[in-house]
């Protein structure tokens, strides 16, 4: 994000920052007269959400103290690295706590109104108008900046979560040295097939697997698309030096594949996991540990 472009976007000049800083010097001692009404307003406006964000007196006290600090920084009238860092932090905290941007914007707006009333009291009439304007612009610029940070952090969080879900829904297990297995359950659409293939290839390379068993007994529907995905996975694994066995092929799925005329090529299929394991151990030249039971 280009931090330096914000003042230009919101038409804030050096003189505006100077006006804010001048006002800040007389406003500082009155800061609690802004913070208290702000939280009274939020309590009414947010209703139930207020209690979710501030469950007890301690949380509320801490929030007020952080707000006080943030607004005193605002009134310094500086758009420097420290100020930007502090606003990045505010955006991150809001994203982490999942505080809605509209609530943040409403709070900014409320404080702008409260500060406007103080400008009328504390600033000489000739300068009041320009000071009001500068404060409004800075408040709008800060809102845009914080909401930008909020949005990008929220996207990061969602990306991480979906990655975690992908990992959970593709639990690859090392059954033996050189043998990996993945039970695929549910529906395989092209997005999920892509994820499975990516995880599969990562693991083959990481664990140096020579055999990969894909167990599809839990796949709800195997149609042309799914069969083609499986064939692509098999081919990709083979390119990485791993032999793939697709196990759990039900008779009806086998029939479907035949009826669809899909060319399975070198894809090795078995009806159950035991057969797949037998083949896998043969491949790695090991005696099947449960073959003689």
- Residues 124-162 have pLDDT tens digits of 999 999 999 999 999 999 999 999 999 999 898 888 888
Q: How confident is the model at residue 95 (pLDDT cuts 50, 70, 90)?
A: confident
Q: What kind and span of H or E run contains 244? A: strand 243-247
pLDDT reading at 263 higher than 70:
yes
At 43, phi and psi to the nearest 5? -60, -45
- Token pair 């929220």 in the structure block, residue: 154
In this structure, are residues 107 and 38 in contact, taking their beta carbons and an 8 Å threshold? Answer: yes
Catalogue all structural domains in the chain, each as residue range(s) with its CATH number. Answer: 5-166 (1.10.490.10), 173-283 (3.30.750.24)
C-alpha 98/C-alpha 88 separation (Å) is 15
Query: Residue 64: which of 97, 107, 29 has the closest Cα?
Result: 107
Complete edge-to-edge strand list for the sheet that includes strand 173-176: 173-176, 179-186, 211-219, 243-247, 268-270
In this structure, are residues 87 and 145 in contact, taking their beta carbons and an 8 Å threshold? Answer: yes
For 199-254, the pLDDT digits (tens) are 999 999 999 999 999 999 988 788 888 888 998 999 999 999 999 999 998 888 88
Q: Is the pTM of this model over 0.85?
A: no
Residue 290, pLDDT score: 59
Q: Locate 191 and state its tokens.
A: 């997005």
The count of C-alpha atoms lying within 13 angstroms of the C-alpha of 249, restricted to the half-sphere facing its C-beta, is: 23
C-alpha 213/C-alpha 216 separation (Å) is 9
165: helix, coil or strand? helix
In this structure, are residues 209 and 173 in contact, taking their beta carbons and an 8 Å threshold? Answer: no
pLDDT reading at 293 higher than 70:
no
Quote the mean pLDDT of the chain: 90
């Amino acid at each position: 994000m280009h931090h330096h472009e914000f003042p230009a976007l919101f038409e804030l000049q050096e003189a505006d920052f100077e006006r804010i800083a001048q006002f800040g010097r007389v406003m500082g001692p009155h800061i609690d007269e802004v913070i208290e009404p702000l939280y009274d307003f939020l309590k009414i406006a947010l209703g139930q959400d207020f209690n979710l964000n501030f469950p007890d007196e301690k949380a509320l006290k801490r929030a007020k103290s952080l707000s006080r600090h943030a607004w005193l920084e605002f009134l310094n009238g500086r758009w420097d690295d420290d100020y930007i860092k502090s606003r990045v932090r505010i955006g991150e905290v809001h994203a982490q706590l999942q505080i809605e941007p509209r609530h943040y914007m409403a709070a900014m707006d409320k404080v702008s109104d409260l500060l406007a009333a103080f400008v009328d009291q504390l600033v000489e009439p000739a300068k009041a108008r320009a000071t009001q304007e500068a404060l409004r612009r800075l408040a709008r610029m800060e809102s845009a900046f914080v909401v930008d940070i909020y949005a990008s952090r929220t996207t990061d969080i969602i990306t991480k979560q979906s990655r975690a879900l992908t990992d959970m829904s593709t639990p690859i297990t090392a059954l033996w040295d050189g043998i990996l297995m993945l039970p695929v359950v549910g529906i395989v659409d092209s997005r999920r097939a892509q994820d499975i293939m990516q995880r599969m290839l990562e693991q083959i390379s990481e664990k140096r697997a020579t055999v990969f068993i894909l167990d599809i007994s839990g796949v709800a529907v195997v149609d042309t698309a799914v069969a083609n995905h499986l064939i692509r996975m098999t081919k990709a694994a083979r390119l990485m030096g791993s032999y793939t066995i697709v196990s759990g092929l039900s008779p009806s799925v086998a029939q479907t594949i035949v009826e669809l005329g899909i060319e399975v090529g070198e894809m090795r299929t078995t009806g159950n996991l035991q057969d797949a394991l037998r083949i896998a151990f043969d491949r790695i030249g090991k005696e099947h540990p449960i073959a003689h039971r």
